[in-house]
A and B are shown apart, each in its own frame.
Chain A
Amino acid sequence: MSVRSRNGGAVVCGRRAMLQGTALGLVVAALFHFPSEGVSEAADREYAYRPVFFSDDEWQTLNSFVDRLIPADVEGPGALEAHVPEFIDRQMNTPYGHGSEWYLRPPLMKTSAALGYQFLFTPRDIYKQGLPALHSAIMQRYGKPFHQLDAGERDRIIGQMEKGSLTLSPVPSKLLFGQILKNCKEGYFADPIHGGNYEMGAWKMIGFPGARADFTDWVDRYGARYPLSPVSVGVHGVQGGV
């Protein structure tokens, strides 16, 4: 295990860091290798990613949050092994992160929830204003930061955020929850070129063939399992066996 600099430096974790991470309050971003059969012995390779957008505190909160949204278990990789935090950090530096897609002109109207997103925040705003608010709320309630809480406590808080019963301002907890969950699933399932879905682990778990994009010979093999492992559109395309 090695955990290096925390002052904006790279955080390098091995498998044990991951396992002890929460208890020790360490940043967790571990790497496992999951062939399609399930969990194998962790490949104790090192993984270094230096967040560009998130501060150290935000990064710790984010890591320990997505770790609960998609936990590691025998079924397949967790969000951390899939490098979801790296995906989210990278997304925040794309036009999307800056809100390039959304209509963000005022004024805000009080409307039915059915009319969808009615805020002026960009994705970056949601994280930059939401994560510190979550941090303060948790410090106040528990006297320690989110990432030092045990899994059950984190799940309880996440559950409250999902319902909106945890009060946060200016970014409501439900909005912060929704944004993290959405980006977390994106990072888990998107093509690895975007930084998540490490080694296509999530695709292998569910049996998605990725960018194969030619099923002429399989469309009428009724009921038969598709035999080929996934491919990525990028450099990871060669990884993974049948």
Chain B
Amino acid sequence: MVSRNEKHTDVVIVGFGWVGAIMARELTQAGLNVVALERGPRRDTWPEGAYPSSIDELTHNTRHALFLQPSQSTVTVRHRDSDVAAPYRQLAAFLPGTGVGGAGLHWSGCHWRISPVELRLRSHYEERYGKDFIPQDMTIQDWGVSYEELEPHFAFAESVFGTSGQAYKVNGKIVGDGNPFDADRSTPFPLPAMKNTYSAELYSKAAAECGYHPFRIPSANASQAYTNPYGCQMGACTFCGFCSGYACYNYSKASPNVNILPALERESRFELRVECDVLKVETDSSGKKATGVIYRTSKGEEVRQTADIVILASFAYNNPYLLLLSGIGQPYDPKTGEGTVGRNFVYQNESGVTLFFGQDKFTNPFIGAGGNGVAIDDFNADNFDHGPLGFVGGAPIWVNQAGSKPISSATVPKGTPQWGAHWKKAVKDSFQHTISIHAHGTNMAFRDCYLSLDPTYSDTAGRPLLRITFNWHDNDVKMIRYVTDRMADIGRAMKPESMSVETKEFGEEFDLRHYQTTHIAGGAIMGTSPKDSVVNRYLQHWDVSNLFVIGSSAFPQGIGYNPTGIVAALAYWSAKAIRERYLKSPGPMVQA
């Protein structure tokens, strides 16, 4: 029961992570009054990132201090339609963010663009390999936006994040030893690339020896002190190693809190309300116009916030979840293939190789930064001939040494017992002498992988949980096995004493028990037609034109890179469309 109405505002934003912060900044700049509602608490460098208390693995990584605990809300998961879903009761495979800054406060910082080919994946594969190449049940499609359209927004986002990297090509001119597979850029990176760790240096040499094209990963960990266009300042990263899953103590990792909020806080048109959990988006009787949202405060009070524009910025699956809870759009039905909300849910398809060196070679894996490292793109996107291989997709392969801590990363060679004297000796012998390489692969969209509401389980607010129906498909297993073999070749060229390989087996079920990534996408995808997408190319809802749904939820299928670079670019792209077109003439910006 709604007990109170808040004063009407121009824009209400649901969630205050990267997307929420970008949209708030862009729309207050356009003269609009903006209220952002964040379900979690207020958070910032102090106290969450304060030294030394943030340098505590148990509290942060093991006990998940900054993440959304399943006890508050979670999802259910099943592998196929005929199974009953069970709740994701303990955090493991992925770690949803909460609180001011969202997952942007404790992400790692690998800050990518995208391969232009991936934005028109279906068309590209059909053109190059023929229509029959794409399996029947693979529901991949084009995004409806091109790299050229997004390029200025990638460039601006990098200037806001203070991204460190080495460009390959700027305005058609080769400028340095960046990624030769990169599309053209209008600007170099705002900061020079970070130093390489020893592991990255060894990997870089071995990859080049194997004939590949290593380059330094663009990272939103600052290689030097930096001031961004909003006047927000960063300090140089110290490679502290407590990065992924931690707030940075050093103002070195880009976050909404460090890179945008200080500017927004000076803005009288902006209000951030924390511990406001949005329950649903309301629409008028026509169902074509959003009137605002209802949220629940930490005291259990239900409040209505009306607004002219509603922006969902609640992260990946939370966006389609809110649509399902609000009854906006037609839920996807995998049997008929009809409906769009929840369709094309995807994840990241990973594998890894761990190299163990002798006692005299110190790789110092505790040194690191979340976005630091060296990658090759020779097997990402369509940078290699898929014709004879018979699968869609690929993976960048990298050494991304984010900093090993012993509870989570006391890695031992495969076959070592998990306890006892042998385990202990193996940990002692391995800890300072390992290097990990990862393939960070694509996950294609399939007809039977989707989101819906769970019929059985609910959360503390009484909402039915979101249900994920998801499993690996042969295409993706084929891809990751192929890429893993290439990765193992590079690993061997690094001449370790021994090597453990983790890959996927055909028929293997999606396993929630170990961390993979929090790169989750789809469910409210963008596209060119309301028949197979939820939002148009401007991230505007096809039916409810004053509703914008922004985040990785818009990806029609998985991408090779980490998602935040393109998420941020899409947010700026959508904000520009709202500022320059929608505000002048509210209504659909694309005719269905």
Using CB atoms and an 8 Å cutoff, list the residues of chain A in contact with chain B: 68-71, 73, 75-76, 96, 99-105, 107, 109, 111-119, 155, 158, 162, 181, 184-186, 189-191, 193-194, 202-203, 205-211, 213-216, 218-220, 222-226, 233
Distance in angstroms from A73 CB to nearest chain B CB is 6
Q: Is the interface of A mostly helix, strand, loop or mixed?
A: loop
CB of B56 within 8 A of chain A?
yes
Bound together, the chains give a CA A76 to CA B421 distance in angstroms of: 10
**5 closest Cβ pairs, A-B complex:** A103-B70, A213-B240, A233-B52, A190-B58, A189-B406
Q: Given contacts A105-B457, A213-B55, A224-B362, are A202 and B71 in contact (CB under 8 A)?
A: no
Binary per-residue interface labels of chain B (39-69) against chain A in the complex, 1 for a CB within 8 Å, 0 otherwise = 0000000000001110111100011100001
A224 to B364, CA, bound (A): 8
Q: List 8 A-B contacts (CB under 8 A).
A: A76-B428, A103-B70, A103-B74, A111-B78, A112-B79, A206-B410, A219-B196, A233-B53
A190-B57, A233-B56 given as contacts; is B512 within 8 A of A96 (CB)?
no
Instruction: Return the contact of B428 from the options A102, A185, A205 (Cβ within 8 A).
Output: A205
Chain A residues near B88 (CB, 8 Å)? 103, 115-116
With A104-B71, A111-B83, A233-B56 as contacts: A116 and B240 at CB distance below 8 Å: no
Number of A-B residue pairs at CB separation under 8 A:
180
Determine which of A100, A162, A193, A220 lies in contact with B71 in the assembled complex, contact meaning CB atoms within 8 Å. A100
B238 at the interface (CB under 8 A from A): yes
Residue in chain B with minimal CB distance to A197: B406
- Interchain CA distance A155-B417 in the complex, whole Å: 12
Shortest B96–chain A CB gap in Å is: 12
CA gap between A70 and B423 in the complex, in Å: 8
B77–A226 contact, CB under 8 A? no
Asked if B366 and A209 make an inter-chain contact with CB atoms under 8 angstroms apart, the answer reads yes
The CA-CA distance from A190 to B55 in the complex, in Å, is 11
A68 to chain B: which residues have CB within 8 Å? 419-420
- Residues of B with Cβ closer than 8 Å to A? 51-53, 55-58, 62-64, 69-71, 74, 77-79, 83-93, 195-198, 201, 236, 238-242, 249, 361-364, 366-367, 405-407, 410, 418-421, 423-425, 427-428, 431-432, 456-458, 509-513
- Chain B residues near A116 (CB-CB < 8 A): 88-90, 92-93, 512-513
Kindly list chain A residues whose C-beta atoms are within 8 Å of the C-beta of B52. Answer: 211, 213, 233
Whether A223 contacts B198 in the complex (CB less than 8 A), given A105-B87, A208-B366, A215-B239, comes out as yes
Q: Is the CB of B58 within 8 A of A103?
A: no
**Would A186 and B89 count as touching, CB distance under 8 A?**
no
Q: Is the CB of A101 within 8 A of B57?
A: no
Q: Give the docked Cα–Cα distance between A184 and B418 (Å).
A: 12
| A181 touching B425, Cβ below 8 Å | no
Residue in B70, B362, B421 whose CB lies within 8 Å of A102: B70
Does the CB pair B362–A107 fall under 8 Å?
Answer: no
* Beta-carbon nearest neighbor of A76 in chain B: B428
A62 to chain B, nearest CB (A): 14
B347 to chain A, nearest CB (A): 14
Question: Hey, which chain A residues are within 8 Å of B71, CB to CB?
Answer: 99-104
